[in-house]
Copies of this chain bind each other. A is one copy, B any other.
Amino acid sequence: MRIAVLGTGIVGRTLAGKLDELGHDVVVGTRDPDKTMASADTDYVGNPPYSTWAGEHPGVRLATFADAASAADLVVNATSGSVSLDVLTQAGEPNLSGKVVVDVSNPLDFAKGFPPTLFVKDDDSLAEQIQRAFPDARVVKTLNTMTAAVMVAPASPGEQGTVFVSGDDTGAKGEVAELLHSMGHEDVVDLGDLTTARGAEMILPLWLRVMGSLGNPIFNFKVVR
């Protein structure tokens, strides 16, 4: 499948690398490809510049958000929640129309420091904001409830956790569930329509405290039943 992964941070890289490994034709989208490749900056946890990662993943191309989305069958929003709507606007409504848009972002607001609060919650969600802004996209919320490393190696915490999917388009959720299974996820729980993304996004404040308590992010939530 031709997949655009929007975002060059650790989430975008991790998903792009895994999808490339699984044989998909992956293009990473960024605001300005030349600038992204030229940057020598590490991120806030010391991850190397994008160019270093790109050198290790020759099969993954880098393009503008619009070029990446335009060529794709499926688009992954792996950007920070605070810029997701802007990035998807840059990707272009026609380039998202009719396509599955996998939203893995979280509406984190760092304005008041750490831990962040949520800039939308409870009676709305970022996933719904994206769906309203791009009504012809087939938005599916998923994977936002775990750290990037666990997204692509769900058995790595020692035991499989649960991955949730939310969306208004049943066919789109089915395609995403298939993709999740191919990535190793065995327990995919369909929460229902896209309003259920409110629940999936609101686990972040607990996720952050569990990370603080355990001292590392390599964990997941499992629905035992």
Hey, which bits of chain A sit against chain B, CB under 8 A?
Answer: 112, 117-118, 121-123, 157-161, 164, 166, 189-192, 196, 198-200, 202-203, 205-210, 212-214, 218-225
A-B contact pairs, 30 of them (CB 8 A): A121-B121, A121-B122, A157-B224, A160-B224, A161-B224, A189-B213, A191-B206, A191-B209, A191-B210, A191-B213, A192-B213, A196-B209, A196-B213, A198-B205, A198-B209, A199-B206, A199-B207, A199-B208, A199-B210, A202-B202, A202-B206, A203-B206, A210-B223, A219-B224, A220-B223, A220-B225, A221-B222, A221-B224, A222-B223, A222-B224
Max chain B CB contacts within 10 Å: which of A158, A191, A196, A202?
A202
Q: Which residues of B contact A223 (CB under 8 A)?
A: 210, 214, 219-222
Partner of A192, one of B158, B198, B212: B212
